[in-house]
């Protein structure tokens, strides 16, 4: 097993003055890396080309955009061959359901999983691309701070990790309630709420480091004693007792399996 690194980004990452998140992805992939951009989630025709230009400006050896518009495109042998030789894959923002309905169950999704788990393929995604990375994907939901059964819609994601469920544009779009609702259904994965211009660099050992100008809200469900999700009406608030919440910023580290947060100032002293 030779797992890669996952980098979910909360959206609206800085691309001009201080592209710290994109630069970190390039550093992880390597100076001579080939990065493939998949703009399937976006309806804008120039999304893939724009990211190609950005990554080339950051010094990658090669950047290629492949837009899988229909499911049949995901069986194209030439596209699969390009993905086989990439060091990194970047999923753009847009609509995560376009990603799951177009890529899910196809040779592209199988290749990404196989190479991530066995061949150190590094995979980043911004906004919709970030939501799609885990096993369970938040497909949609309502804004607000209080969880309700009808506040979140879940769907299968790409399946790169079963240990996290990710929401994006977190503070900007007031999504605490829907992330809590997702965890109340099954309090197994760690909840990761990503602010804009903020990323979690998730390493193969399931620790992650915060990079960017915003914060990450971590919801640790390991000590949840009770939720009323099984008996709550769809439009009623859900009771959740025992969840732990951390707010982490640039340089802080979280260990998903040990349920331990470490601030960057403490890391710098060790």
User: For residues 183 and 219, is the Cβ–Cβ distance under 8 A?
Assistant: yes
Residue 239 in tokens: 């009771």
Q: Is 169 a catalytic residue?
A: yes
Q: What is the pLDDT of residue 268?
A: 72
Query: Which of 79, 100, 136, 196 is the catalytic position?
Result: 196
Q: What is the mean pLDDT of the chain?
A: 96
Mean pLDDT in residue range 65-74: 98
DSSP annotation string for 144-202 = SSS-BGGGEEEEE---S-SSEEEE-STTTTT-HHHHHHHHHH---SEEEEEPTTEEEEE
Q: Is 189 exposed, middle or buried (CB count within 10 Å of its CB: 0-12, 13-18, 19+)?
A: buried
Q: What is the pLDDT of residue 269?
A: 63
Query: Which of 127, 136, 209, 232 is the catalytic position?
Result: 127
User: For residues 23 and 44, is the Cβ–Cβ distance under 8 A?
Assistant: no
The Cα–Cα gap between 103 and 101 comes to: 6
Mean pLDDT in residue range 142-153: 95
Is residue 175 predicted with pLDDT exceeding 90?
A: yes
Crossing angle (nearest 10°) for helices 47-57 and 20-29 = 70
Q: Is 259 a catalytic residue?
A: no
Is residue 119 predicted with pLDDT exceeding 90?
A: yes
Residue 102 in tokens: 């177009």
Q: What is the pLDDT of residue 116?
A: 98
Largest separation between any pair of C-alpha atoms in the chain: 55
Q: Is 223 a catalytic residue?
A: no
Q: What is the pLDDT of residue 266?
A: 74
Q: What is the pLDDT of residue 1?
A: 62
Q: Where are the alpha helices (DSSP H) in the chain?
A: 20-29, 47-57, 77-84, 96-103, 107-118, 128-132, 176-185, 264-267
Q: What is the pLDDT of residue 26?
A: 98
pLDDT tens per residue across span 77-112? 999 999 999 999 999 999 999 999 999 999 999 999
Query: Which of 34, 122, 136, 169 is the catalytic position?
Result: 169
Residue 22 in tokens: 């994109």
Q: What percent of the chain has pLDDT over 90?
A: 95
Domains within the chain, CATH numbers bracketed: 6-267 (3.40.50.880)
Is residue 270 predicted with pLDDT exceeding 80?
A: no
């Amino acid at each position: 097993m030779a797992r890669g690194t996952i980098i979910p980004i909360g959206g609206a990452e800085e691309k001009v003055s201080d592209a710290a998140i994109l630069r970190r992805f390039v550093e992880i992939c390597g100076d001579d890396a080939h990065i493939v951009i998949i703009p399937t989630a976006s309806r804008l025709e120039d999304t893939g080309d724009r990211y190609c230009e950005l990554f080339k400006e950051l010094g990658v050896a090669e950047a290629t955009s492949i837009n899988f518009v229909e499911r049949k495109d995901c069986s194209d042998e030439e596209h699969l061959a390009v993905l086989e030789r990439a060091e990194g894959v970047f999923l753009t923002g847009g609509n995560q359901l376009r990603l799951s309905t177009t890529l899910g169950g196809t040779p592209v999704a199988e290749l990404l999983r196989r190479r991530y788990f066995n061949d150190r393929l590094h995979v980043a995604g911004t906004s919709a691309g970030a939501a799609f990375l885990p096993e369970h994907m938040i497909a949609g939901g309502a804004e607000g701070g209080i969880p309700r059964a009808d506040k979140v819609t879940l769907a299968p994601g790409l399946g790169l990790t079963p240990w996290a469920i990710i929401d994006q544009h977190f503070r900007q779009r007031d999504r605490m309630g829907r992330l809590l609702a997702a965890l109340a259904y099954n309090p197994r994965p760690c909840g990761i709420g990503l602010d804009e211009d903020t990323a979690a660099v998730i390493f193969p050992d399931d620790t992650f480091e915060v990079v960017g100008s915003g914060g990450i809200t971590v919801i640790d469900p390991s000590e949840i004693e009770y939720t009323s999700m099984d008996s709550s009406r769809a439009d009623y608030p859900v009771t959740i007792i025992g969840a732990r919440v951390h707010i982490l910023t640039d340089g802080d580290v979280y260990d998903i399996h040990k349920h331990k947060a470490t601030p960057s100032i403490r890391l710098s002293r060790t």
